[in-house]
Amino acid sequence: MVILVDENVPYGREAFGLLGEVRTAHGRKISREMLADVDALVVRSITKVNRELLEGTPVRFVGTCTIGEDHVDKAWLASAGVTFSSAPGCNANSVGEYITAALLHLAEKHGLTLAGMKLGIVGVGNVGKRVWKKAEALGLQCVLNDPPRFDLEGGDPVFRPIEEILDCDFITCHVPIEKTGPYATWHLAGAAFLARMKPTAILINSSRGGVVDNQALKSTLRNGQLRAAVLDVWEGEPRVDTELLELVDIATPHIAGYSFDGKVNGTRQIYEALCASLNRPAEWDPSPLLPAPECPELTVNPSESGALSGAVRAVYEIMSDDARMREMLALAAPEEQSAWFDRLRKEYPRRREFFNTRVNFAQPDSAMERLFSGVGFRCG
């Protein structure tokens, strides 16, 4: 069996090598010619998997080590008899930690007290639920909007109409991209949506670039109609509107879900799915391969102002990602900028999730322990 694996899939050779011959390639460079004798294809989000790529090849299994599936033509795969699997929830906690880091930075930059402010969460699936839990630990009042779940779950009143979302101090989007249908999300945050947000509000998008109309957002920010925006995803990736990049408070290259733990979860889930399709037992365990965390332990003074922000920065400094992204501005050619965007993703520093770090408090403080535990740290 021959398996072609995106070179950015961690432990791809170790996992899939138990099932056959493994070849690797850059995700954007995977071609039909490469698949001439390949039985299974394992990708991440940058490979467009469709009829054009697969027709006439022997590929009978496609797995994407990501939550998102919009880069895969699932209907065509089904019609062609190709088994497909994604990795729902694999990096949900990683995105939740990204949003936590962003909120703490925004609060410091703009002099905001998060406790008591309102966070609108658009999309309450695997990721949205993690964001909800961490945001509540920070003291935010969460307003949830998820029309598909509202309909599926019989009108659960926990899900609120979009009008209530638009009254929030922060709005964060965690939806798949759907261009048509009753739950379309393409340009969900368009000009009308942005105009109805409070001028003191902040928009965060770490789902898919097309969920926010980037041109409308650029105009809104230029006109001072929003306090700020945070973008991890961009329309037209790897091309980025550099004018918009200069306007947002935090700019990152589609890495919210790029924690090392999240990526390894994705590898494991797709390995297990391929094993299931082959009726073979899943024997690979990534645990012995995981490196020690860079920050295994922290001692925190709970009476110190900004204790949580300092701990989060010690594990994940979101503004380092922002600084590397803004180096793109020194590159004149769009092709160079696109290559830089892809390079940032390919060479992304190893980022471990908060649970790998134990926090000890200089003196007992049950409220601070609940706060730190609530966002994901191990305490005590």
Q: Which of the residues are catalytic?
A: 208, 237, 254
Contact criterion met (CB below 8 Å) for 318 and 102 = yes
Q: Which of 69, 1, 90, 85 is nearest to 39 (CA)?
A: 1
Q: Distance between CA atoms of 203 and 287, rounded to whole angstroms?
A: 37
Sheet containing 83-85: order of strands: 21-25, 2-6, 40-43, 61-64, 83-85
How many other CB atoms are found less than 10 A from the CB of residue 276?
Answer: 13
139 three-state secondary structure: coil
CB of 282 within 8 A of CB of 25?
Answer: no
- Structure tokens, 238: 């790897």
Alpha-carbon distance 355 to 97, whole Å? 10
Which DSSP string corresponds to 63-103?
EESSS--TTB-HHHHHHTT-EEE--TTTTHHHHHHHHHHHH
